[in-house]
Amino acid sequence: MKHGFFHASMLVLIALLGGCTITESSSWVSQPLSPEQGQPRAYLVGAVGPDELMPATAQNQRLLFRQRGSEQGAAAIWIDNGIRQTPKDIQKGRASASVFVMPLKPGEYELYDFQFFSISSTGYGTYSSSLQAREKFVVPMRLEAGKAYYIGEYRSRCLTSSACLFIQRDRMARDESIARARVTHLPDLQYLPLQLERAKPFILPERAETQTQTKDRSSQ
Amino acid sequence: MKSLFPLVLIAVLISGCATSHSLPSTELRYGDAYLPPIHVLTDDPLKGGEIRNSLRATGMFSDVISGQPPADGYAVRVNVAQERDLPPFPVILLSAATLFLLPISDSMDSRLGFTLMKGGQTLKRYDYENKTQRYTWLLDRKEEATEENLRRITRAFAQDVQRDGLMPAVEAKP
C-alpha cells in the first residue's frame, strides 16, 4: 500500500512538472527605459529564435539593446529549457521563434550585442556555457513617440559550437498580426532598416549587401 | 556566530561604499548626429577590445573599428599604462586565511593617451589618468569598478573630442 502511494505521488509530480511549463515574456526592458502609464512610448517589434537550418541549440538566446551612451538596456529573448519558455509564435519543424513587442521611452537606442546561454548535462556533470561578442557593435536607431518599428526576425544558426550568428529577414506581414494580438492598441508597424553591416559577422541580413569595411571582431 | 555578523556587515559596507575615482564622471550631451567612425589601435592588444567596447558605449562615435583606417579616415592610437596596487603579501595571506572575509585595499591607476590622427597627420593628443581606490573581499564585484575606471576615461575623451570640433558630425541614424 505504502509502495503504491509512493508511485502515485511520483506520477502526480511528473504530470504536474510536465504540464507546468512557465511562459515568460519575450522582451525585457529595464525600469528607467519603461514608459509609465500615460507617458509617450515607442514600440520595437521583431522576432527572435533558432533558424530551421543549423539552429543554435542554446536554450536562452538574446539580442541586447541600450539607450545611446547609457548603461540602461533592454533585450529581446527566446527561451526554451523545458521548464521556462517564451511564446512559440512561429513554429516550423523543430525551429521556433518568439515575437517581441518592446515598449520603450522615445529616444536614441543601439543594438549592440547578443547572448547565447546553454546548460548541458553529461554523465560527468552539468555544464553551462555562454557566447557573446568579444567586440560589441553599434547599430543606431531613433524611436519616436507613438510609432511602432519593425526591425525583422533574427534567427540563430551555429556553424560550430562557438561560431553562431543571427540571420535577419523582413517578415513584417507575418509578425504584425502576432504583435497586434499581444498589444491591441499597437500603432501601424513601419519597417526600420538598420545598418546591420556594422554587426557583421554576428548578424547577417538574408540578402547581404557587400561592404568593404574590415573588422576584427571575434566571439568568445 | 553572533560575533561574526558585525564583521561581515563592516566588510559589506567598506567594500560597497569605499570605491573612489580620481577622474570625475562625465555627462555627455549628444547632437542629432554621431561623430565619424574611428579606427582604434592600442599598444596593448589584450586591452584593445576592452577599450574599443568602452568607446562604443560612449554613444559618441558612429562606429569604432579595429585596424588601420582608410586614407581619409580617422585613427586613434591609444597608449595604455595600468598599474594595480595590492597590499603586502602577508596581508593578502591573512585575508585568505579568513576566506577573504577580511577586505583588502585594491587600487588601480590607469593612464591612457589618445592620439587622434587623420591621413597620417596628428590632430591632437589627449591624456587622462584615473586612479580607482577600493576594498575587495569575497563577495565583491570587481568587474564593475574596473569597467567604471575605464568608462570615466573614454567618456572624458569623447567629450573633449566633441568639444574641440576636430571631427565633423555625420548623420548615422536610420
**Residue A106 resides in a domain:** yes
CB spacing of A136 vs B173 below 8 angstroms: no
Site of grid cell 507617458: A39
**Residue A101 resides in a domain:** yes
CB spacing of B56 vs A136 below 8 angstroms: yes
Q: How far apart are CA B132 and CA B129, in angstroms?
A: 10
Cβ neighbors of B27 (< 8 A, separation 6 or more) are: none
What percent of chain B clears pLDDT 90, i.e. is strictly above it? Answer: 52
Cell numbers that stand for A143 in this block: 524611436
CB spacing of A142 vs B173 below 8 angstroms: yes
Task: Please name the residue of chain B whose CA is at the shortest distance from the CA of residue A73.
Answer: B57
Q: pLDDT (tens digit, 9 = 90+) per residue, B56-104?
A: 999 999 999 998 888 889 999 999 999 988 889 998 899 889 888 888 8
Provide φ and ψ at B69, rounded to 5°: -85, 160
**Residue A175 resides in a domain:** yes
Let me know the angle formed at the C-alpha of A96 by A90 and A97, rounded to the nearest 5 degrees.
Answer: 65
**Residue A10 resides in a domain:** no
CB spacing of A198 vs B63 below 8 angstroms: yes
Supply the range of the domain harboring residue B106. Answer: 4-164
**Residue A212 resides in a domain:** no
DSSP state of B62: S
Supply the range of the domain harboring residue A196. Answer: 22-205
Dihedral of CA B58/B64/B68/B70: which sign?
Answer: negative
Q: How far apart are CA A74 and CA B168, in angstroms?
A: 30
Interface test mutation site (partner A, options B47, B53, B54, max chain A beta carbons within 10 A): B53
Q: pLDDT (tens digit, 9 = 90+) per residue, A142-194?
A: 999 999 999 999 999 988 777 889 999 999 999 999 999 999 999 999 999 99
CB spacing of A194 vs B57 below 8 angstroms: no
What percent of chain A clears pLDDT 70, i.e. is strictly above it? Answer: 85
Average pLDDT of span B17-32: 85
Interface A–B counts its CB contacts (< 8 A) at: 56
CB spacing of A69 vs B58 below 8 angstroms: yes
Residue B123 has pLDDT above 80, yes or no: yes
Site of grid cell 511520483: A10
For chain A, the residues whose C-beta falls within 8 A of a C-beta of chain B are: 66, 68-71, 108, 110, 112, 134-138, 140-142, 192-195, 198, 213-217
**Residue B173 resides in a domain:** no
CB spacing of A108 vs B49 below 8 angstroms: no
* Extended strands (E) in B26-89: 38-42, 64-66, 74-85
CB spacing of B173 vs A140 below 8 angstroms: yes
pLDDT band, very low/low/confident/very high, at B12 (cuts 50, 70, 90): low
**Residue A150 resides in a domain:** yes
CA distance A31 to chain B (A): 19
Q: Which residues of B touch A137 (CB under 8 A)?
A: 56, 63
Reported pTM: 0.84
What total number of domains does chain A contain? 1
**Residue B170 resides in a domain:** no
Site of grid cell 529577414: A169
**Residue B169 resides in a domain:** no
**Residue B171 resides in a domain:** no
Q: Complex ipTM, two decimals?
A: 0.82
**Residue A2 resides in a domain:** no
Cβ neighbors of B172 (< 8 A, separation 6 or more) are: A140, A195, B33, B34, B62, B63
**Residue B138 resides in a domain:** yes
Per-residue confidence (pLDDT) for residue A220, from 0 to 100:
40
**Residue A158 resides in a domain:** yes
Instruction: List strands edge to edge, sheet with B20-21.
Output: B20-21, B121-136, B104-118, B74-85, B38-42, B64-66
Closest CB to A136: pick one of B30, B53, B62: B53
pLDDT band, very low/low/confident/very high, at A119 (cuts 50, 70, 90): confident
| CATH number for the domain that contains residue B30 | 3.30.160
What total number of domains does chain B contain? 1
**Residue B142 resides in a domain:** yes
Closest CB to B59: pick one of A69, A137, A192: A69
